[in-house]
C-alpha cells in the first residue's frame, strides 16, 4: 500500500530481520501476502487494517507491480507485489492487529514527505518509492 495522509506524506514502517541483529534496518510500505481465496485488493484492505488499525473503504489500483527475490529470517523468498493507493486524514497508527512476526520485526512507523523520501540515505523498499509517490501526486 502507498498510504497518503492529508499532507501527502506516505506511511512507512521501519523493520529488521530478527535473525540478523547486525544488519541495518530498512523502511517499507504496509502490506503483506494473500490469504487463500483472497484478491490482491482484499489483501491490501485487510493488511492495512491489521498493520495500522485503519479501515479503508476502498483503494486505488493496482498502480504498480514488481517481482523481487530476497532472504528474510534465513529463508529465500520470491514475491510478486502489487501496490495500491489510499488516502487517510487525521489517523493514528494502531499496532493491536500485528502478528507475532510483525511484533518481532517492526520497530516504528513514520509518515514521510516526498522531499524526505528523495533525500534520505536510509534503505527504503521498494527502491523507487519516491518516483511512485511523485507519479501518484501528479495524477491526483
- The residue extents of the domains of the chain are 2-139
C-alpha cell at 89: 486524514
Cis check: omega of the bond before 126, within 30 degrees of 0: yes
Contact 32, 45 (CB under 8 A): no
Predicted pLDDT at 85: 96
Mean pLDDT of the chain: 91
Mean pLDDT of 32-53: 94
Q: Using one digit for the tens of pLDDT, what is the confidence trace for 124-138?
A: 999 899 998 988 888
Predicted pLDDT at 17: 86
Mean pLDDT of 30-47: 94
Helix (H/G/I), strand (E/B), else coil: 105? helix
- Confidence band of 117 (pLDDT split at 50, 70, 90): very high
Higher pLDDT, 36 or 73: 36
Predicted pLDDT at 101: 86
How far is the C-alpha of 67 from the C-alpha of 83, rounded, in Å? 12
Predicted TM-score (pTM) above 0.85? yes
The CATH number of domain 2-139 is 3.90.79.10: yes
28 pLDDT higher than 90: yes
Contact 22, 122 (CB under 8 A): no
Mean pLDDT of 12-29: 90
18 pLDDT higher than 90: no
Q: What percentage of the chain has pLDDT greater than the value 70?
A: 99
Amino acid at each position: 500500500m502507498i498510504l497518503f495522509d492529508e499532507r501527502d506524506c506516505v506511511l512507512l514502517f521501519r523493520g529488521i530481520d530478527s535473525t540478523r541483529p547486525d544488519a541495518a534496518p530498512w523502511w517499507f510500505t504496509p502490506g503483506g501476502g494473500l490469504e487463500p481465496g483472497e484478491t490482491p485488493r482484499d489483501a491490501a484492505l485487510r493488511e492495512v487494517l491489521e498493520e495500522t488499525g485503519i479501515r479503508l473503504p476502498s483503494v486505488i489500483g493496482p498502480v504498480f507491480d514488481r517481482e523481487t527475490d530476497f532472504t528474510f529470517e534465513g529463508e529465500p523468498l520470491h514475491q510478486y507485489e502489487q501496490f495500491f493507493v489510499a488516502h487517510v486524514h487525521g489517523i493514528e497508527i494502531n499496532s493491536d492487529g500485528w502478528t507475532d512476526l510483525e511484533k518481532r520485526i517492526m520497530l516504528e512507523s513514520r509518515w514521510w514527505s516526498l522531499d524526505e523520501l528523495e533525500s534520505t540515505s536510509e534503505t527504503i523498499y521498494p527502491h523507487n518509492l519516491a518516483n511512485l509517490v511523485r507519479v501518484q501526486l501528479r495524477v491526483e
